Structure 1
Amino acid sequence: MEVHRCRFVDYIPSAINALSFAPNTTRPILACGRANGDIEVWNPKHEWTLEKVIPGGKNTSVEALAWAHQTILTEDEDFWDSEREKQAAIKKLIKTPPRLFSAGLNAVVTEWDLTTLKPKRSVDSHGGAVWCMATNHANTILAVGCEDGCVRLFDIADGELAFIRSFDKQKTRILSLAWSQDDKHMVTGSANSSIYKWDVEAGRVVSRMTVDRVSGEDTLVWSVKVLSNGVIVSGDSLGHVKFWDGSNTTMIQSFNAHGADVLCLAVGKDATSVFSAGVDRKCNQYRFVEQPAPKMTGKNGKNGKNGSVTGKTEMVTKWILTGSRRFHSHDVRALALDESRNVDALVSGGVDVTMVVCSAAQFLENNQRRLTYVPQRPVVSFSKSKRLLLCRQERGVKVWRLGKSAAAVLPFSEIEIGAHMDLIEPQQAMLEMTFKDDRNLTASALSEDGHWIAVADVEEIKLFRVDEHPSHPGKLMVRKQRSFPGVRGTGAHYLAFTPDSTRLVVASTDSNVVVVDISQWESGKFDILRRFGQHRGTDGKDLESMDVDEEDITGEHDQVETVILMSVSADGQWLATGDLKNRIFVFNLDTLQHHATLPVFDAPITALQFHPYSPTLVIPTASNVFYLFNIETRRLTDWSREFSSDKQFPTKFLGLKDKIQGIAFNPARKNTLLVWGANYICHVDLEQGVGDRNAILNVGKRKRVDRAQDQLRKQQRERRMKKYADLGIVPMPELESGNAVVVLEGKKARKVYAASTNSTEEEKTEDINFQLLHKFQPLMFVDFVEDNSLVVVELPFIKILSSLPPSYYRASYGT
């Protein structure tokens, strides 16, 4: 098989600046804020699944994140007519999804709509750049630390976001803050070597704690936390982690555990564990433990009062540094901790763009999990007929034309995996488009004929016509279709062209699926053929025009969900869409009607792909089980009903940490498919069963083993031939086949049977269907151009490292 390894795609993920778990009163989810303004929402279930990405924009680096989930009522007792009504209101409040807030150096505090992925509310910080942010334990007040030295409070109770008041102004910026357990006090870390304890009601400083200074320069207190027992923990730019008594603000202990700035802290709920990380890449764990009290001796050498005269050893409790680990190659900027039994995770992230998850309970013993840094949602589009590859970036797209290789001299089965083939035509960068909008792109698509490019953000959809320049052959000419109306002023989460390039399908930010006719573009006419509202819970009340009032299609609020997946069949007849509620709908594009609603699967869906040669939809899930659904019969296929189960699929395949991100079909082998994730490609034959659950074939390893066995057999045959020649055995042509019978000439005639080198020595291997290949990684895209010609887009980590600044290094003595 010919493989086009594409490493020329310019896609560099952004650094991680902030991490935050949602409160334990709601489902476990993690928000990850990046330097480009994007916010990722991860679900720890099913080995960490990415649910959605809230797009950022220019100069919107996320510096702080905070979740809020209110569970207490703010109304007076007299407001409720009965206790039953009050309890019903509390239950409704608990069922309400959590709210997500972000802030950064653009001086804006934003609450996000987690369905449309747009800003829901935004307020000015009134104090410049926001360095830190935290909600109180009641989740009713949001505190932000600003550049101008003020802490400002915002009311977030009952869905509000309104400014309340400011604390007394300090002469330096507020870098970190934390609430006390009773929400009556607050602790802030500043850029003037000080930690302040505040009275929240009065808005004034109660006491001040001072950290060490070097050469008269101010020390930056990057992080502060307050434990449930009132102990204050701080991390500063000298690499010190200090523990303070929260009542009298005196220092208890100090650790010089880091070689450079301590940028982040994470604390356990039981006040016995603390984690710190920073510029030196180390992640340290501190535990509050009991230890024997030190023996006190007098001048005469006898034991004092704390000695062991009575035979009992006195115990004291203190903080100790239990150990450290290095997960990252660069600065660690954020830590998040969830100690609940079903999560048990310490998550870290920083400049090296990768999130690392390890067990909090067994921090020093268990291996870490490195979440993939490649996009979990498609950013690459491909035109097979034109051999064009499009990659979406933050605020632009690039298009390349694939190269062509010389014809293979040997059959592909005899060529070593990874062997290079000579190019007769190299890849060529054809087009680069950069947009002036400040918003990051959320979707893009390239038509099969290569003449259309569509891009979208959360506010707008743009359509471009691409043709060959008439006077410059080989160059492309791009024209924006200014008469394209978009979809009623909304953006899109997903875009797709039909195979005949006459229609554009849009999954809008308001969760409508819209079909647009682009065949009459020359006359400037773009008709909306149909608007489907199934993902809004409208129960099939399809909308035929863009003139329908939005209030008529609202539906139930809890039924509206973000559309994250879309696929169009190869014949252009079928359209499948999926959302975050795991609902999958199939539409007939010929009749423009809703065709089927698929059953809801237990695990989140990760991709949708139609089989190009049958009316079958392939549905991978986060459990690494994939299903095959026959669109015409509206039921699972026979193969899927028999084998699509976590009790049938190979155990090793189910245990792969990386989720299935896509499906590819080889036109030369129509009954097979390739499922691929970030670090693997797996070949599955749909004409065979699953086979032994405990067996899975590693293709690369098999090739190496086969070559080693062939070499061993060759050496054994050469040794036998030499031995027979030394003994005077008559050479026979059949000896080379391994089935020869040779006769020893001499006084004692006897027959010697040469050992067989083929069928008698071959190992009987059981037929294994799932064949894994780890040769190509990490993968962003996989698809076939033509028969036995595969395209893989890779993003090696070394390419990311080359774009990062130098990491921290301190020379040791003797090096």
Structure 2
Amino acid sequence: MGEFKVHRVRFFNYVPSGIRCMSYNSHTDQLAVARLDGSVEIFSFSSNCFQEKVIPGNEERSTESICWVNHNRLFTVGLNGEVVEYDLERLCPKYSTNAFGGPLWCVAPNSTGTHLAIGCEDGTVKVFQVIPEGIQFEKNLDRQKDRIICLSWHRSGTQIAAGSVDVIRIFDVTSGRAVQRIVVDRRIIKSYNTKQECLVWSLHFLTCHMIVSADSSGKVQFWDSKNGTLVQSQIVTNSDILALAVAESEDSMVIGTAEGTIFQFQLLPLKLGGKEAQWVMTKPFKYHTHDVRAVGHSKTALFSGGMDTHLAIRPLMEKVQSKSYDAAFRKISFPHRRFVSCAKKAKLLLFQFPDHLELWRLGSTDVTGKSGDVLPISKRQEHLLQLKRKGHDHICCSAVSPCGEWIAYATVSRLCLYRVEYEGDTVNVNKISKIPNIQQTAHHLLFSSDSKKLFIGSDQAAIHVVRLSTSACKYLHTLKPKSDIAEATCLLSSSTDGTWLAAANQSHKIDIYNLKEAKHHCTVPAYSCPPTSMAIHPVTNDLVIAYSDQQPLPDDKTPFYNQEALKQLSEKNRRKVAHAFKICKKFQPLLYADLLDNDSIVVVERPLMDIYAQLPPPVRQKKFGT
């Protein structure tokens, strides 16, 4: 392995959006996470917690609650008053329906997936019927005085529990009447000798007709729904408890607090071998610096997320069968997709933000040194351009050509192409007004190595090829796989000689196209995990693929040692574990890495402390002795 000059880039000011809510799908082992910017991410735990799908956000769409219906349909509600169902193949909203109840705070399906209950600002609980074409309004339950903050169906589908301000109400779904009213104790503010109103942030209706609630007074309480009486109460914290999730077996649950701590409760027998059991707080975890807005519970793990933008996954050691990588705690801080593009010939970087793009020129040095030296910069990096997107949809993909003269980006509703001209210290940008009318949404963009073609990866695994020239661009043809696939394209890679194009889609299939003949060449043998990255070797045209299970050699069990570990081995043992992969751990979290030329590499780092410094202050921070 030769030596490289490494451009360590830290001026990509990327800050992920906070997590607002989440919903776990036990049948597909997927977690849907909705963020504050309106985007939705789907993580697959069967694929090593890989972020399989991302639905871009929209400035006019805010999400307050999310749920799965019938294991394959995803719904959200938000403060704009609309119910949105998502197309999980095209990765965009399928349709939206106004509930006519003002801002919407919560949504919950019944156990059979035939109906949705939606909590509204005007105090109504609206019941919608789920039909194949969408949802259809069925009825309003008795209107209440205050907004409906949280909802939960009983497993029988005959009753709904609704949390509000100071009150939990139980509705009979058939009659629409409130059959029980439970008053929640307010918190006493000693300094003012007054009682503060209590917000029931989350609740769950257990099969045994017990309701568990979490509120702003820091209490977890268990109620008898038939008699409306308090069965058990536990003061957990002095701050709000914002989220609650119960395991499918109803013997464990997790709560999230405003001070960043999550707690696990378990249903344990009072006596060894006895039938009588009680809910007991067993495990506290401190994984977040800010308030935890969302929690989830699977058979083997707890999930949490909030304003600090991280998704924390805490395996339950007593439920994990093998003590392997699956038993390790994980904190997912960055998206599993590319936000950086590189113009290698021009040595430019394009940074993608939800509402704009930034074009930067890399710095340079005239000094040489030995391995490990930090070289002084002779010419600093330069911010050349900021390009704002049109409309309200967030940017879902972008690219810059190797020569640096073309920039393209796409949202779910449009594709934009720009010509960039450099004249001394000035940069001129001209939008190409006449571009091919492609009806499908672009999910991945790639320029050819000679900057003369643009490949547009869209839904249904189609690749549209556009020829670029100084005056205009022209549609050439569309490449399609032989099999009928409705999934969107997620990865593209072209060969340096312009002969081959590799395209991966959301169904984990990788197709190879011959660009000279403009036709499908072959399909890569299927693998059990989705591809996360791929590239075609510039000389041999070999296709190298990385998968989500982090095993570049599926049939080879050779362990990977980093350079420090190899130094500790003897010469004989070092040869036994030798491999072509070199592991370097000297960098901060990486958002991008690529070769610029034969002797230089560019890496884009994003230190976590830089993100923490830009977050708002915590709602409440626990101090010693309080």
Match of 2:400 in 1: 446
Match of 2:168 in 1: 195
Match of 1:207 in 2: 180
Distance 1:619 1:367, change over 3 A: closer
Deviation at 1:330, TM superposition (A): 1.2
Match of 2:239 in 1: 260
What is the CA–CA distance in structure 2 between the aligned matches of 1:588 and 1:533, rounded to whole Å? 12
Deviation at 1:203, TM superposition (A): 1.4
From 748, 760, 766, give the equivalent of 2:574.
766
What is the CA–CA distance in structure 1 between the aligned matches of 2:319 and 2:63, rounded to whole Å? 28
Match of 1:753 in 2: none
Give the counterpart letter for 1:501 in structure 2: S
Distance 1:194 1:360, change over 3 A: farther
Give the counterpart letter for 2:232 in structure 1: Q
1:274–1:286: 8 Å Cα contact kept in structure 2?
A: yes
Distance 1:479 1:568, change over 3 A: same
Deviation at 1:252, TM superposition (A): 0.6
Match of 2:17 in 1: 14
Distance 1:315 1:345, change over 3 A: closer
2:161–2:171: 8 Å Cα contact kept in structure 1?
A: yes
Q: Percent identity?
A: 33
From 347, 353, 361, give the equivalent of 1:387.
347
1:304-356: CA deviations, max 9, x gaps?
xxxxxxxxx998532222221111121111111121xxxx2211111111111
Match of 1:52 in 2: 53
Match of 1:674 in 2: none
Match of 1:573 in 2: 499
Match of 1:636 in 2: none
Give the counterpart letter for 1:531 in structure 2: T
What is the CA–CA distance in structure 2 between the aligned matches of 1:246 and 1:200, rounded to whole Å? 15
2:345 is the alignment partner of 1:345: no
What is the CA–CA distance in structure 1 between the aligned matches of 2:315 and 2:93, rounded to whole Å? 34
What is the CA–CA distance in structure 2 between the aligned matches of 1:400 and 1:806, rounded to whole Å? 31
More deviation in 143-152 or 282-291? Answer: 282-291
Match of 2:433 in 1: 482
SS of the residue aligned with 1:377?
A: coil
1:711-751: CA deviations, max 9, x gaps?
xxxxxxxxxxxxxxxxxxxxxxxxxxxxxxxxxxxxxxxxx
Structure ID, larger Rg: 1
From 593, 617, 621, give the equivalent of 1:806.
617
1:132-173: CA deviations, max 9, x gaps?
111001101011111111111111133431111211211211
Match of 1:184 in 2: 158
1:36–1:59: 8 Å Cα contact kept in structure 2?
A: no
Match of 1:650 in 2: 558
Deviation at 1:360, TM superposition (A): 3.8
SS of the residue aligned with 2:611?
A: helix
From 699, 724, 735, give the equivalent of 2:563.
699
What is the CA–CA distance in structure 1 between the aligned matches of 2:291 and 2:622, rounded to whole Å? 14
2:459–2:487: 8 Å Cα contact kept in structure 1?
A: no
What is the CA–CA distance in structure 2 between the aligned matches of 1:515 and 1:269, rounded to whole Å? 48
Give the counterpart letter for 1:182 in structure 2: S
TM-score (norm 2): 0.93
1:181-209: CA deviations, max 9, x gaps?
2110000111x211111111111211111
Give the counterpart letter for 2:389 in structure 1: F
2:290–2:306: 8 Å Cα contact kept in structure 1?
A: yes
1:258–1:282: 8 Å Cα contact kept in structure 2?
A: no
Match of 1:758 in 2: none
1:360-383: CA deviations, max 9, x gaps?
464999975224322211111101
2:140–2:176: 8 Å Cα contact kept in structure 1?
A: yes
What is the CA–CA distance in structure 2 between the aligned matches of 1:804 and 1:138, rounded to whole Å? 40
2:314 is the alignment partner of 1:358: yes
Deviation at 1:702, TM superposition (A): 5.8
1:155–1:163: 8 Å Cα contact kept in structure 2?
A: yes
What is the CA–CA distance in structure 1 between the aligned matches of 2:275 and 2:446, rounded to whole Å? 68
What is the CA–CA distance in structure 2 between the aligned matches of 1:384 and 1:158, rounded to whole Å? 48
| Structure 2 counterparts to residues 392-407 of structure 1, below 5 A | 392-407=352-367
What is the CA–CA distance in structure 2 between the aligned matches of 1:204 and 1:497, rounded to whole Å? 61
Distance 1:361 1:159, change over 3 A: farther
Segments of 5+ residues of structure 2 without an aligned counterpart are: 189-193
2:54 is the alignment partner of 1:107: no
Deviation at 1:603, TM superposition (A): 2.1
Q: Which has the higher helix share?
A: 1
1:491-512: CA deviations, max 9, x gaps?
3000111111111110123432
From 364, 387, 403, give the equivalent of 1:433.
387
Deviation at 1:259, TM superposition (A): 2.5
What is the CA–CA distance in structure 1 between the aligned matches of 2:274 and 2:588, rounded to whole Å? 57
Match of 2:547 in 1: 621
1:563–1:579: 8 Å Cα contact kept in structure 2?
A: yes
SS of the residue aligned with 1:404?
A: coil
What is the CA–CA distance in structure 1 between the aligned matches of 2:541 and 2:597, rounded to whole Å? 20
2:480–2:520: 8 Å Cα contact kept in structure 1?
A: no
2:102 is the alignment partner of 1:238: no
1:227–1:269: 8 Å Cα contact kept in structure 2?
A: no
SS of the residue aligned with 1:485?
A: coil
TM-score (norm 1): 0.72
From 221, 231, 234, give the equivalent of 2:200.
221
2:459–2:486: 8 Å Cα contact kept in structure 1?
A: no
1:505–1:516: 8 Å Cα contact kept in structure 2?
A: yes
Distance 1:315 1:157, change over 3 A: closer
SS of the residue aligned with 2:149?
A: strand
Distance 1:277 1:575, change over 3 A: same
1:430-482: CA deviations, max 9, x gaps?
1111123100111101001111000001111100000024xxx2121111111
Match of 2:441 in 1: 491
Match of 2:515 in 1: 589
Match of 2:475 in 1: 528
What is the CA–CA distance in structure 2 between the aligned matches of 1:465 and 1:625, rounded to whole Å? 40
Deviation at 1:764, TM superposition (A): 5.0
Give the counterpart letter for 1:483 in structure 2: K
Between the two structures, name the one with larger relative contact order (CA 8 Å, sep ≥ 6): 2
Distance 1:598 1:262, change over 3 A: same
Distance 1:436 1:362, change over 3 A: same
What is the CA–CA distance in structure 2 between the aligned matches of 1:193 and 1:292, rounded to whole Å? 35
From 441, 458, 465, give the equivalent of 1:508.
458
Match of 1:517 in 2: 467
What is the CA–CA distance in structure 2 between the aligned matches of 1:183 and 1:592, rounded to whole Å? 55
1:356-408: CA deviations, max 9, x gaps?
11124649999752243222111111011111000111021111100012322
Match of 1:174 in 2: 148
Give the counterpart letter for 2:387 in structure 1: M
Segments of 5+ residues of structure 1 without an aligned counterpart are: 70-96, 294-312, 540-555, 627-643, 654-695, 707-761
1:66–1:100: 8 Å Cα contact kept in structure 2?
A: yes
